[in-house]
Structure 1
Amino acid sequence: MTAILEIRDLSVYYGRIKALHDISLTVGEGEIVALIGTNGAGKTTTMKAISGLRAAHGTIRFQGKDITKVKAHHRVGLGISQSPEGRGVFPGMTVRENLMLGAFTRKDKAAIATDLDRVLHLFPRLKERFTQAAGTMSGGEQQMLAMGRALMSRPKLLLLDEPSMGLAPMLIQQIFEIITEIREQGTTVLVVEQNAKQALTRADRAYVLETGDITRTGTGAELLADNSIRDAYLGVA
């Protein structure tokens, strides 16, 4: 496995509080890797550290390059894009305007147009709502928009933070089917998710994060079959 992302001994502080405790993880090219855990475990903090939105101690390497000190907007240029927890769409802007913001680092107009077509193929609902204000859309549609916007930077690594949060079960299934399709199209995916059953079903590998520590790792299938994981995370999935 060729690693696209390597994290070693990563720690993050909020003031004097240590939110991540020297964690290490690897994401291989072409994988879906899931990071599961309860609220407050440090999942979103990990994503923010990877995308450059939170200062971190330790080492973050992307495609072999140390990016620990690289600013967030430069990480987007390198090929890391994040769909944040809570979606973060711009409510007063149209679907088209939100999507085009995802390509703000790019100058290749023809390729941007190609990627816009790709996003609208992945998310047909966005094509239907293309000129509609994002704030008038449903939660599921906004989640699709947030993911589509992240894809508009043509990332090599897509970070998805709680993509199923607040969605109906049928829509959750659809979102994870699209995540699988995104991977099949050549984009590596690291997904943070409370819906452990869906995440582990789709993931090649997964890490369990508890109060800032990685406590378990394995394939998605291995963790799905583990009774302690089932008891802790799959009871209500």
Structure 2
Amino acid sequence: MTSSWRATVLTLFPEMFPGPLGVSLAGKALASGVWTLEARDIRDSATDRHRSVDDTPAGGGPGMVLRADVLAAAIDAAHVSPDRPRLLMSPRGRPLTQARVRELATGPGPLIVCGRFEGVDQRVIEARQLEELSIGDYVLSGGEIAAIALIDACVRLLPGVMGKAESASEESFSESLLEYPQYTRPQAFEGQPIPEILISGDHAKVASWRRAESEALTRARRPDLWVTYESAPKGTTKE
């Protein structure tokens, strides 16, 4: 099978890949050629015998910063085509949304830079036009875990990866709503039964119940998403 979606990762720890991406849905799709993964070591672009990639921050302060020249050389050496997004996983980036994931999944696949230390020299971010993305308002030791999360979110949307095409359309964030509660056997668990409506066989009532539950959960837990959902024009897909 010819792969059309590719993830190229620039990291100081290429041994972290594929990691979780090598098992379950993503792993099966990787093995069957639905997508490909290339993890490239940033240190391969260092020029000194110590393979140095970082230096002290200009202006002083704690920690180290990834050098612009080394990282730029690593990006250039990857030889990614201009139509592939260039991403930098960063806690100061724009929040990664399901809408952005869908955009990335329908393209040729991104080049992803995994930051480390105190960050990346701003000049290489600008010179190589890196789009900064964040997976949440917290700080990780590096961008590798964030890159794995982003790739997994994209791969599961690729054609043929998920068992049912409609699965993705009913998940959390598909319409700026959180997903409704799910139930399965046994019919009674520790005295709690499955809601009667879900075993009624009335598909219209089930759909109405699920929509109401999704709206209630979103309103209670994610008021930011609720505002987006409420403000979307009728008859359009809400993101």
Same fold by TM-score, threshold 0.5 exceeded? no
Q: Quick check: which has more Rg, 1 or 2?
A: 2
TM norm structure 2: 0.24
Whose RCO is larger (CA < 8 A, sep 6+)? 1
